[in-house]
Amino acid sequence: MYPSATNYNICLLDKDQRERFNVVLVSPRNPLNIGAVARAMANFGLHKLSVVAPFDPTWREARSAVGAPQLLSDAVEAATLAEAVADCTLVVGTGTLTWRKPEQPVVPLPSLAPLVNQELDRGGRIALVFGSEKHGLTREDLSYCHLLVEIPTDPGQPSMNLGQAVAVCLYELATRAAATDAISPPLDSNHAATSRHLDVLAGLIEEAMEAAEYSPRAMQPANRHDLRLLLRRLNLSPFDTRRILGLFRRILWRLRRASLPKSESNRG
């Protein structure tokens, strides 16, 4: 006996969860792959797609978006990954470890659903990020990610087609979501800071480091990269972020005041 349509789809994310789940494609090259991603998202009831710096300007016309032309039409085009994930509280990068040394926690795909569920339960927003067909996510891209999820594949052929990779990940999340009994943390104390707030904090800390002449100018890009990773590992709440912002604003004010000529410093 076949299950009813209602029971068959019971394991999919509910309406509220779908509103807080975003699929992000970074620098995709082939419009057909973007269309295949849109189709896979429609299969699992998701509709929030962001496309970062696409290679082909005609990507919205992809014929492979069977059953999902509106999803493709409504997709958000972003100039940068930072812009695409600004409102997200958990950013999950995807890729293989074959050619890279991860700088954030690595999660096997079958273990991702409980973490996603926990973030959704506490009111967070999720971004699942995929890199370009040519080289995947770069080291710079991954510095915006809290986690790196690895799809188990044979070492002889570790990479997957973009559309297939998205379909596999969404299927895994959809089928395991209902089976996961995650303990919901209190919404107030454990709500995570958004990626945008973490970037604002990182920018302020970087200003303080420059004012303090923390390191040579040539080291600033590396410091910026490490700061992004560190702040995401700390799992800061909005309250934590505001307190640290206040602390570094005061430090920066002191540093700039100390660098003024004595007459101007006394005037302040």
Residue 123 has pLDDT above 70, yes or no: yes
Q: pTM value?
A: 0.83
Q: Give the model confidence (pLDDT) of 203-227 as tens digits.
A: 999 999 999 989 888 999 999 999 9
Q: Report in angstroms the alpha-carbon separations of 117 from 35, 134, 170, 196, 248.
A: 27, 31, 13, 22, 33
pLDDT value at position 182? 44
Query: Nearest to residue 151, comparing CAs of 206, 203, 95, 199?
Result: 95
Rounded to whole angstroms, the Cα distance separating 168 from 174 reads 10
* pLDDT tens, residue by residue, 64-94: 989 899 999 999 999 999 999 999 999 999 9
Q: In this structure, are residues 208 and 255 in contact, taking their beta carbons and an 8 Å threshold?
A: yes
Give me the pLDDT at residue 27, please.
95
User: Which alpha helices (DSSP H) does 86-194 contain, by range?
Assistant: 112-121, 139-142, 162-177, 187-190
Fold of 5-177: Alpha/beta knot (3.40.1280)
- The domains of the chain are located at 5-177, 193-267
